[in-house]
Amino acid sequence: MIVLKFGGTSVATPESIASTLAIVKATETPALVVVSALGGITDLLVKATQQAAAQDEAWRESLEAIESRHLDTVRGLLPPQGQPAVVGKVKKDLNTLETLLEGSFLIGETTPKIQDKILSYGELLSSFIIASYYSGQGLQAGFRDSRKLIRTDNTYGNARVAEDNTYALVREALDGSPPIVVLPGFIGATPEGHTTTLGRGGSDYTAALYAAATGASELQIWTDVSGMYTANPRVVPQARPIAVISYEEAMELSHFGAKVLYPPTIRPVLQAGIPLSIRNTFDPKAPGTRIEASANGAGRTVRGISYVPEIGLLSLEGPGMVGIPGVSRRFFEVLSAERINVVLITQASSEHSLCAGIHEKDLARAASALDEAFAFERSKGEVKPVLVENGLSIVALVGDQMKHHQGLSGKMFSALGRNNVNIRAIAQGASERNISAVIASSDVKKALNTLHEEFFEERIKPLNLFIMGVGNVGSRLLAQIRNQQHYLSAQHRLQLRVVGISNSRKMVFAEDGLDLDQWERLLENGIPADPDAFYQTVRTLNLRNALFVDNTASESIAGGYARYLQGSIAVVTCNKIACSAAYGEYARLKGLARTYGVPFLFETNVGAGLPVIDTLKNLVLSGDRIHRIQAVLSGSLNYILNTYTGERPFVEIVKEAREEGYTEPDPRIDLSGVDVMRKILILARESGHGLELDDIGNRGFLPQGALEAPALEGFYEALQAGEPHFQALYNNATRGGKLLRFVAEFNAGKAWVGLEEVPEGHDFFSLKGSDNIVLFYTDRYREQPLVVKGAGAGAEVTASGIFADIIRAGKV
Ligand SMILES: NC(=O)c1ccc[n+]([C@@H]2O[C@H](COP(=O)([O-])OP(=O)(O)OC[C@H]3O[C@@H](n4cnc5c(N)ncnc54)[C@H](O)[C@@H]3O)[C@@H](O)[C@H]2O)c1
Ligand SMILES: N[C@@H](CCO)C(=O)O
């Protein structure tokens, strides 16, 4: 014997009922098929009853809707010649239903007993129609009325089943029945024959009773999802069905949104050791979830993640609670007297406070009852008024095997912490089957996805990027990300999603990631740019593994890093302003990154894509000490000084460097030496020296007045006018066989930058194009420095340096 149960969604339409036929045809026989009312009918029956009891004439419309749903179903399923007999019986039942509703309407009330009778027609009609349909399709199928088989007490609405009595009746009644018997779920009857209903999850319970009574080989619950999922798939799209789960785990997980099963109802089959599976009527090939009395040892430690929304916390606190027996008893007695369900309890061993999580709707009632009960202690200052917090939810890891593994709660809380999810309360019972955390409801989506990723997704980790600045560097970065997306997800399990983009005019967001083939068009059609609104959107979207990338040269954007870091959002930047601002600001940002455990990376601040800062960090981390740094750190100046021979005007070459993307957006920052000052300052700071920009000497080489011009055009004119000055500099150097280099030096705690003539054989002499070079002299590299050399400017190499920082941040 096998028992199949089809829920309301599986029998909602003629098409879905046809799907059940295919499943029943393929199943072994003998089989019992338990069905719910056609989807939506029970709600309509409840509505009609309430309307009738309220003497609202609209009950007739509800009844008409009920009638037409059933008659349409008959017409949709049965051939014309088979319809009259079935329609006749359906109409007869509908007439009785009408009489019952009419009665309620006339008296102006209903009772639980009448309500049960009315509700029973949902299942009675569906099972009869389906049995008729099956037999018309060549199955040897019959119908039995569950009211004759399931014996209950008279607790109408939630009747208790006399199981032994029921089992005997079932065995007797089914003896000699056809291979397939269709039965209504949810209903039973008292010994006197009065109709009753079985309460929440009633049809599952009916099916479990039939399976236990007949000693079935399996109970299959057919629904519209492919089993119990690792998390609610509506919140966590990557959630997947759990293959095998224990009864206890199913109980714990049953809290989660999509209520596939109400586990208490399946107790009879588990007691009888009958396996149960949850299957999808609309995807019958999917294996679904198998629930076993004990699935110990099989599969993972964490079986699923559940959550309970709309939770409030009550905290009772005060010095008068310490060491006084009976406080918690009174606390819970008050809640119990108010019939308030307690969902979660915590008390610290200091005994100074007691905290309970309850459903939000009960919060105000609970608080006033508790305040009243502890009024005396409050008046003496022994306890404080009850603290009430709402807007909370519980997220929980569930798994029988968790108790055998240390480190799971550590992993859970650090994953949540990394993503800025604040934990308000924690509970873990000694069974260790469930670790629960109370968090803000606004964090639930992020928390569930984070935990799912941590415990179930060995596959792909998403990185959610918010990119500010899409000029030379930013646009190259987007192109590189687009080209590399596939490789990263295939080879490194990283899914890069660009969720937000802004330039100084427009910004655009897409939670699932912008299409990088058309980001220009999307941005152009975006909303007006506003860095504060950008930040607010990042916070509102509240995505895990979020990264803010700054490709601007803007001071105000750099001024916003702190708020991102405080929100546990990593910051990657090629903008040098923050790290070369006042030392206090630099140190504050690094401190925030440490405090919030989130990366703050700026490798491209020095040497563009070259690994200069990373090399320096590794030297310092491994205990080396930096004595001296000698470097050429300006790609644009090196390009200009390498290209200038006195033949073409100096200013023309400056403009060329700008067009090549070597200079800052404002080339005066390069030509004045400020860019190089910033870079050597950052290297000095990373070496452990708290220098300020003003401490750095600058032997500039521009003609007088060039930097005083208020606008770029005036600056270019001054360079033009200063051509003889540049020629003289060039000639002086080359006359002695030397070359001009703009160098930077840090030595014994001091730093300076300036133009120098370097002779042949010098490390800087052969430096080509826009190359940079950095020589580190340290404890370990005393005579022969550690050298980093290569292209030190250009949008492409800079973008690749930012990209490397993004990956570094993503792998943390
Ligand atoms: N070019 C290089 O070789 C190189 C190397 C290392 C670092 N960098 C740094 O890269 C950064 C960008 O350089 P670029 O050449 O791409 O500049 P760019 O002028 O081409 O692009 C700057 C981008 O930032 C946007 N922007 C500016 N101010 C903004 C604001 N307040 N709000 C929003 N968006 C704003 C602009 O609209 C533009 O999209 C600079 O900080 C520079 O120091 C460049
Ligand atoms: N403008 C910078 C870009 C790299 O930071 C330079 O010329 O080196």
Q: What is the C-alpha separation between 95 and 67, in angstroms, rounded? A: 10
Spatial CB neighbours of 413, under 8 Å, sequence gap ≥ 6: 423, 426, 437
Q: Which ligand is nearest to the CA of 797?
A: 1
The finding on whether 798 has its CB within 6 A of some atom of ligand 1 is yes
In this structure, is residue 260 part of a structural domain?
Answer: no
Taking Cα atoms as reference points, which of 582, 527, 526 lies closest to residue 559?
582
Q: Are residues 617 and 512 in the same domain?
A: no
Structural domain ending residue among the three candidates 223, 244, 268: 223
pLDDT given at position 575:
98
Q: Can you give the CATH number for the domain in which 720 is found?
A: 3.30.360.10
Q: Are residues 100 and 189 in the same domain?
A: yes
The finding on whether 733 has its CB within 6 A of some atom of ligand 2 is no
Domain extent, residue 715, equals 612-793
Q: Are residues 507 and 418 in the same domain?
A: no
Query: Which long-range contacts link 727-730 to residues 24+ away (Cβ below 8 Å)?
Result: 727/646, 729/701, 729/755, 730/644, 730/645, 730/646
| Residue 117 is among the residues annotated as catalytic for this protein | no
In this structure, is residue 247 part of a structural domain?
Answer: no
Q: Which helix (H) or strand (E) holds 377?
A: helix 375-379
Which positions of the chain have pLDDT values less than 50?
257-258, 297
Q: Are residues 388 and 529 in the same domain?
A: no
pLDDT given at position 255:
57
Q: Helix (H, G, I), strand (E, B), or coil: what is residue 40?
A: coil
Taking Cα atoms as reference points, which of 9, 10, 34 lies closest to residue 145?
34
User: Which residue's CA is the closest to the ligand 2 atom numbered 3?
Assistant: 793
Q: Are residues 384 and 483 in the same domain?
A: no
| Residue 420 CA, ligand 1 centroid: distance in Å | 29
Structural domain ending residue among the three candidates 577, 605, 633: 605
Q: Are residues 72 and 209 in the same domain?
A: yes
Q: Are residues 591 and 704 in the same domain?
A: no
In this structure, is residue 595 part of a structural domain?
Answer: yes
In this structure, is residue 186 part of a structural domain?
Answer: yes
pLDDT given at position 431:
64
Among 798, 800, 803, say which to mutate for ligand 1: greatest number of ligand atoms within 8 Å of CB.
798
The finding on whether 634 has its CB within 6 A of some atom of ligand 2 is yes
| Residue 599 CA, ligand 1 centroid: distance in Å | 21
| Residue 743 CA, ligand 1 centroid: distance in Å | 24
pLDDT given at position 323:
73
Query: Of 5, 446, 576, 679, which is the active-site residue?
Result: 679
Give the dihedral sign, CA 568/574/575/580.
Answer: positive
Kindly state the tokens that stand for 55: 């003497």
Kindly state the tokens that stand for 415: 């994953």
Q: What is the C-alpha separation between 436 and 308, in angstroms, rounded? A: 10
The finding on whether 770 has its CB within 6 A of some atom of ligand 2 is no
Q: What is the C-alpha separation between 598 and 750, in angstroms, rounded? A: 31
pLDDT given at position 302:
87
In this structure, is residue 269 part of a structural domain?
Answer: no
Say if residue 172 is exposed, middle or buried (CB neighbours under 10 Å; 0-12, 13-18, 19+). Answer: exposed
Q: Can you give the CATH number for the domain in which 414 is found?
A: 3.30.2130.10
Structural domain ending residue among the three candidates 409, 438, 456: 456
Note the pTM of the prediction, 2 decimals.
Answer: 0.66
pLDDT given at position 36:
96
| Residue 419 CA, ligand 1 centroid: distance in Å | 28
Number of domains comprising the chain: 4
ipTM: 0.93
User: Which residue's CA is the closest to the ligand 1 atom numbered 6?
Assistant: 608
User: Which residue's CA is the closest to the ligand 1 atom numbered 43?
Assistant: 575
Q: Are residues 108 and 182 in the same domain?
A: yes
